[in-house]
Amino acid sequence: MTRRLLSAVLILVPPLLLGGCGRAADSNAADAKPQLHQDVPPHGGTPVALGDDYNLELVRDPAAGTLSGYVLDDEMEEFIRSSSPAVTLELTVGGEPRQLVLAAVANPATGETVGDTSLFQGQADWLKSAGNFTGKVRLITIRGTPFAEVPFAFPAGAAKE
């Protein structure tokens, strides 16, 4: 009797356990394409990788002549606060050296303050007509880690001057 019960369990249980692992009847393994995760800047800007864990998304508003920098996680999904009061960018625009300071922006709606914010912004009239430029982030501190002399091209993929 025990043998019959054991045999029945061994015959009936495996198909029941594996039943949920099958593919839907209309799926075809040959047609399946892997889904790639893409890190997309949420504001349509240029990402500047700060090590392996953070990004600074640079977004230019040509009408206002402003450049905003959003501190984001490595997948550009979450805003990350920085203790930096400002971020200085050393730029080369049309062959000319320029400096732009992005000041920390407070946001009462999110509780962000200068010294604890994810948004930095600077203004310069030359930003209204600037096309491609290159530069480096002089220094930004995120969660106690400094990132210095980080090179970038704006927009992403623009030729280095």
DSSP secondary structure code for residue 27 in this structure: -
| Domains of the chain as residue ranges with CATH | 46-154 (2.60.40)
CA angle 101, 97, 84 (to 5 degrees): 20
Position 34 pLDDT exceeds 90: no
Question: What pTM did the predictor assign?
Answer: 0.73
The answer to whether the bond into 155 is cis (omega within 30° of 0) is: yes
pLDDT at 4: 60
Q: Which helix (H) or strand (E) holds 100?
A: strand 96-104
Is residue 62 a contact partner of residue 152, using CB atoms and an 8 Å limit? no
Model confidence over 58-107: pLDDT tens digits? 999 999 999 999 999 999 999 999 999 999 999 999 999 999 999 999 98
| pLDDT given for residue 26 in this prediction | 46
| Per-residue confidence (pLDDT) for residue 3, from 0 to 100 | 58
pLDDT digits (tens, 9 = 90+) for 135-155: 999 999 999 999 999 999 998
User: Residue 52: how many CB atoms within 10 A of its CB?
Assistant: 6
Element (H, E) at 2: helix 2-18
